[in-house]
Amino acid sequence: MLHSHRMELFACRASQDFASKVIEHLNAHRPADQPEIKLGNLAVSQFSDGEFQPQFLDSVRGATVYLLQSTVPPADNIMELLLCIDAAKRASADKVIAVIPYFGWARQDRKDRPRVAIGAKLAANLLRAAGADRVMTCDLHADQIQGFFDIPVDHVYASKVFIPYIRKRKFSDLAIAAPDMGGAKRANAYAKDLSASVIICHKTRARANVVDSITAIGEVEGKNIIIVDDMIDTAGTLCKAAEVLMSKGAASVRACATHGLLSGGAVERIHNSALAEVLITDTVPHPELENDSKITIVSMTEVFASIINKVYNYESISNDFIF
Give the residue numbers annotated as catalytic, written as ranges: 203
Q: Is the dihedral of CA 283, 286, 290, 295 positive or negative?
A: negative
Cα separation, 145 vs 148, whole angstroms: 5
* Distance, CA of 140 to chain centre: 7
Q: Is the dihedral of CA 178, 181, 186, 187 positive or negative?
A: positive
Q: Of the candidates 124, 130, 76, 135, which has an alpha carbon nearest to the alpha carbon of residue 101?
A: 135
Q: Where are the alpha helices (DSSP H) in 131-220?
A: 159-169, 184-194
Rounded to 5°, the CA angle 312-314-319 comes to 100
- Say if residues 198 and 227 touch (Cβ distance below 8 Å): no
- Say if residues 26 and 309 touch (Cβ distance below 8 Å): yes
